[in-house]
Amino acid sequence: MISAHEAEVASRFDALHRRFKDALAPDDYRLDGVLEVLGPVAGMRILDLGCGKGRFARALRDRRAIVTGIDLSAAMLAEAGGIARVRGSARSLPFASGSFDAAIAVEMFEHLDPGTWPVAIAEARRVLSPRGTLAIVDKSLASLDARRPWLPAALVKAIDERRGLWMYPAGGPVRERWFWPRRLRKVLLKSFAEVRVVHLLSPAERRRALFRRVPAARLMALWVARGDGGIDV
């Protein structure tokens, strides 16, 4: 069943779906990060959590992965042609245990109710094979703003949120959450045997020595969680 929080998320994405791009640049740095940690994906069964319009799912399918997408928003899913897809919540996945070799979640966790992070992570773990990998790409609360690196990116976001420039109305019941890398890692370690955090370097950040030299200052992080400790599912 969809919660009130998820209904609000779905309605915002349904209303604003035209704002979101339907394809990735071939050299998208987040895709490169995901591919690097997954290794060769041909023949791999991959679940895309919060697949949106299917940009990442199609890029993986084009590399011969067998991809399924799940998303809350009917309008986003309607544009996710070319992949198997279902409407539903990452909190309660309609798949049998051990159905996938890997799962990705690109900028989806930021839309979850923080109280449901452990449930969504445990669900991802359940549908993965024992040695499966979960790759989460999302924004780091420790990052600095790429254009004005003397400011925390989260402060710039908080100001913009108040000015109504983010997708959820200021003061409403839902807002986009960013993550302390170590905090999300700790939550992931409750379901996965091994978790590492990789700080991804965006093209804008690449231009500044600060971001090249200090990975923790970068906006996008990739949490790679593996169940290869042989945890029972």
Smallest distance, Å, CB 182 to ligand SAM?
23
Give 70 or 102: the residue with its C-beta nearer to ligand SAM. Answer: 70
72 binds ligand SAM (CB under 6 A): yes
Torsion of CA 105, 101, 64, 87, to 10 degrees: -50
For residue 84, the cross-strand partners are 68
Query: Which residues ranging from 97 to 126 are in contact with ligand SAM (CB under 6 A)?
Result: 106-108, 111-112
Give the whole-angstrom CA distance, residue 208 versus residue 71: 35
CB 122 within 8 A of CB 191: yes
Q: Which of 90, 102, 200, 221 binds ligand SAM (CB under 6 A)?
A: 90
DSSP 3-state of 143: coil
Give 175 or 208: the residue with its C-beta nearer to ligand SAM. Answer: 175
133 binds ligand SAM (CB under 6 A): no
DSSP letter assigned to residue 54: T
What are 171's two structure tokens? Answer: 């003061």
Give 32 or 194: the residue with its C-beta nearer to ligand SAM. Answer: 32
Smallest distance, Å, CB 36 to ligand SAM?
17
Distance of CA 43 to the CA centre of its chain: 22
For residue 144, the cross-strand partners are 152
Smallest distance, Å, CB 8 to ligand SAM?
10
Q: Which of 34, 59, 76, 144 binds ligand SAM (CB under 6 A)?
A: 76
What are 77's two structure tokens? Answer: 């899913």
138 binds ligand SAM (CB under 6 A): no
DSSP for 112-139, please give it.
S-GGGHHHHHHHHHHHEEEEEEEEEEEE
Give the whole-angstrom CA distance, residue 121 versus residue 40: 24
**One character per residue 20-59, x = contact with ligand SAM (rule: CB under 6 A):** ------------------------------xxxx-xx---
Q: Which amino acid is at 80?
A: A
The residue whose two tokens read 């999302």 is 138
73 binds ligand SAM (CB under 6 A): yes
Query: Which residues ranging from 164 to 193 are in contact with ligand SAM (CB under 6 A)?
Result: none
Give 77 or 144: the residue with its C-beta nearer to ligand SAM. Answer: 77
Minimal CB distance to ligand SAM: which residue?
A: 52
The footprint of ligand SAM (CB under 6 A) covers 6, 9-10, 13, 50-53, 55-56, 70-73, 76, 89-91, 106-108, 111-112
